[in-house]
Chain A
């Protein structure tokens, strides 16, 4: 009788369910079918749903839940959003949607990627976006799993990277399983990350979920980009779909929001300042959201023959261009245009951690009277707890808007504002910039030559041997550069958006390895080779991501920058010891106690091999690098992730 009752319930449901289909007997929706259709604003039934509605219900197999699980409808919603992957660590609180994704949804769009830590899953989504320009979703246990995920979400927040984090949570205290699942439940799991997500919601019905999910995607993908959070009730996932009278479930169509642009009056005012300037300098941090942003910035720089300092949270400007300049270029500027700067104060001021009474001291990097212009969408963010907005900097013109979206108008305004009499001087400025660029490049190469044959291997040698091994391929650097003295961005011919993924945003250590795997996933799908200069300390936060890469056949060339220590931290301890006029306790090692990763030395070759990677090392002689790299690149081209453990100089 119960089974019969279930059938009756299903038949009732099928008459009231428009947008999403129902039964496991019907094949999962194909990717092509899941493409967002054109108007009307609510999606019509797809082929599978239409079949479900017209076929006789008794062809559908019975089940114990007495209907179609709510999480099947959730999967239908997800499929309209073109989300390719779902890196996640499995957890009982989202078992309903997990089961629907892999069985009902056919494990496609999104494909579930098995991760060994929630922080890895989120950082993979972070790295993926930096290459693909599309957000991923991740699922996590709403309490302990989300707690694991938080640092990576904070990095994404600071780096203005969109992603959808869905946390499972069992809200109903009367029905949820006692003991462990109850330990893992909370009234409001989103509270944990509310300070560093753009938006969150806790849908209490399936229709609510459909609205929340599309809204979440839309908010995440509207500049300033950012992570969003949805708390997903376990009961809502697992219970059968219930109709609400004649009201039918529908999936709202996703329509992208046009990015905000700078005010037209402010744009003209800024253009006049730039056109009249003797030495304008452009500073860009997250200006190029897309490859088109680089083209626009090149056009603006060339129109003004203004040098460009790329602070590098994205690849904003070709490093090979004669207008590409080091940070010191701002010292002689009379007008500075800051585009999506994460720290305008830190751009025009310096802070030295070496002042009286153990406090730092500040000094200006620019001339008095230099005019400052800011275009930034981050001013739209009003969260106040975490201090990612940095120190307050007064600017002369401040535009709230997306820099890339504002650049076309600014470019036209600048062209109109340049008086004919200034064109000769602007051209001369360009000639001077060509010489400065060439001189700077020569100095950089000479600096790279120092300790070229040293052992441990110099970071400049490491980086250039690696470049030599991949330069004939379509390469992409999927690691941040800071820990190897920025040699990659100083010496590699970085010109395209995918050539370098930029930094982590929040500088939370442990981002590097998983972000590289996420970026490599996007590069794999684009047919590129991914190069990761992998720091040792970073890898050891969650090395299980190596297994995820091997499991899901995500190749990359990982070259270890194994300096056997936390070198960012070494000098903090030494500095304080010096201030206090006492020697630092090295404990018989090579650095202050607590900052070294040695005795025993970690065998990264064995670590990587144990997780399905091809690996070699440790390499200590620079002459060993080239042959090992050749072999490794062949493995990567064959689809196998490869790691070389290289003992390096500290920076």
Chain B
């Protein structure tokens, strides 16, 4: 139980110290954009990540252990701090317009 609390604390600290600017660069450097798009919008090849990304804890667990179409990214490839920065970048992406406000999506 203490170990779990410690883990959550570390995760929370990582998230708090994260840098969205660095995260954007890391999102591109690590190829996240290749399936999820530069804005995390998703598409046929990858899920929508932003806006409103999943909580950091769940995000971390998914990235490390994915058994779905996305391969897992171990720490050797993507260190914890980099992952936190990437999450911060996804959090910084502004909310999407309502499609009803876009004429081309209402024809």
CA distance A583 to B79 in the complex (A): 11
Q: How many A-B residue pairs have CB under 8 A?
A: 121
21 A–B pairs (Cβ distance < 8 Å), ordered by A: A353-B69, A354-B67, A445-B99, A446-B98, A447-B42, A449-B99, A449-B105, A450-B96, A451-B38, A454-B37, A459-B43, A465-B104, A468-B104, A567-B34, A570-B31, A571-B34, A571-B45, A581-B77, A583-B77, A650-B34, A650-B35
Contact A354 B71 (CB under 8 A): yes
Contacts of B66 in A (CB 8 A): 354
CA distance A12 to B107 in the complex (A): 71
Contact B96 A567 (CB under 8 A): no
Contact B41 A450 (CB under 8 A): yes
Contact A454 B67 (CB under 8 A): no
Seen from chain A, the residues whose Cβ lies within 8 Å of a Cβ on chain B are 352-355, 361, 442, 445-452, 454, 456, 458-459, 461, 464-465, 467-468, 471, 482, 485-486, 491, 565, 567, 570-571, 574-575, 577-579, 581-584, 586, 590-592, 649-651
A650 in contact with B37 given A570-B31, A571-B45, A579-B71 (CB within 8 Å): yes
Mark each residue of chain B from 2 to 27: 1 if its CB lies under 8 Å from any CB of chain A, else 0.
Answer: 00000000000000000000000000
Contact A485 B43 (CB under 8 A): yes
A590 in contact with B28 given A574-B34, A582-B77 (CB within 8 Å): yes
Contact A571 B44 (CB under 8 A): no
- Tell me which of A448, A465, A583, A649 contacts B38 (CB under 8 A): A649
CB neighbors of A among B66-93 (8 A): 66-74, 76-77
Give the shortest distance, in Å, between A235 (CB) and chain B (any CB).
Answer: 52
Seen from chain B, the residues whose Cβ lies within 8 Å of a Cβ on chain A are 28-29, 31, 33-35, 37-39, 41-46, 48, 50-51, 66-74, 76-77, 96-99, 102, 104-107
Contacts of B104 in A (CB 8 A): 461, 464-465, 467-468
Contact B102 A452 (CB under 8 A): yes
A577 in contact with B51 given A354-B71, A451-B38 (CB within 8 Å): no
Which A-B residue pairs are the 3 nearest by beta carbons?
Answer: A485-B43, A451-B39, A451-B41
Contact B96 A452 (CB under 8 A): yes
Q: Which of B28, B71, B96, B104 has the most CB of A within 10 A?
A: B104
CA distance A409 to B88 in the complex (A): 59
Contacts of B74 in A (CB 8 A): 578, 581
Closest to A449 in B: B99
Contacts of A579 in B (CB 8 A): 71
Contacts of A650 in B (CB 8 A): 33-35, 37, 43, 45
Contacts of B46 in A (CB 8 A): 651
A482 in contact with B31 given A352-B69, A354-B71, A578-B77 (CB within 8 Å): no
Closest to A595 in B: B34
Contact B105 A651 (CB under 8 A): no
Contact A454 B45 (CB under 8 A): no
Give the shortest distance, in Å, between B47 (CB) and chain A (any CB).
Answer: 11
Contact B44 A482 (CB under 8 A): yes
- Tell me which of A458, A491, A582 contacts B41 (CB under 8 A): A458
Chain B binding surface, main DSSP class: loop
Give the shortest distance, in Å, between A381 (CB) and chain B (any CB).
Answer: 29
Contacts of A354 in B (CB 8 A): 66-72
Contact B71 A449 (CB under 8 A): no
Closest to B33 in A: A650
Contacts of B43 in A (CB 8 A): 459, 485, 649-651
CA distance A630 to B73 in the complex (A): 45
CA distance A574 to B72 in the complex (A): 10
Give the shortest distance, in Å, between A526 (CB) and chain B (any CB).
Answer: 24
Contact A570 B34 (CB under 8 A): yes
Contacts of A575 in B (CB 8 A): 71
Give the shortest distance, in Å, between A456 (CB) and chain B (any CB).
Answer: 7
- Tell me which of A459, A486, A584 contacts B31 (CB under 8 A): A584
Contacts of A586 in B (CB 8 A): 29, 31
Contacts of A448 in B (CB 8 A): 99, 105
CA distance A491 to B96 in the complex (A): 18
Contact A591 B99 (CB under 8 A): no
- Tell me which of A445, A458, A571, A577 contacts B37 (CB under 8 A): A458
Given A450-B51, A464-B104, 9 additional A-B pairs, CB 8 A = A361-B67, A445-B105, A449-B97, A574-B31, A582-B76, A591-B31, A649-B38, A649-B43, A651-B35
Contact A450 B39 (CB under 8 A): yes
Contacts of A454 in B (CB 8 A): 37-39, 41
Contacts of A465 in B (CB 8 A): 104
Give the shortest distance, in Å, between A34 (CB) and chain B (any CB).
Answer: 45
CA distance A447 to B45 in the complex (A): 14
CA distance A3 to B74 in the complex (A): 85
CA distance A357 to B44 in the complex (A): 26
CA distance A465 to B105 in the complex (A): 10
A578 in contact with B39 given A446-B99, A449-B97, A449-B105 (CB within 8 Å): no
CA distance A586 to B29 in the complex (A): 9
Q: Which of A456, A461, A471, A649 has the most CB of B within 10 A?
A: A649
Give the shortest distance, in Å, between B43 (CB) and chain A (any CB).
Answer: 4
- Tell me which of B51, B68, B71, B97 contacts A574 (CB under 8 A): B71
Contact B45 A567 (CB under 8 A): yes
Contact A485 B76 (CB under 8 A): no
Contact A571 B35 (CB under 8 A): yes
Contact B51 A651 (CB under 8 A): no
Contact A651 B96 (CB under 8 A): no
CA distance A583 to B106 in the complex (A): 43
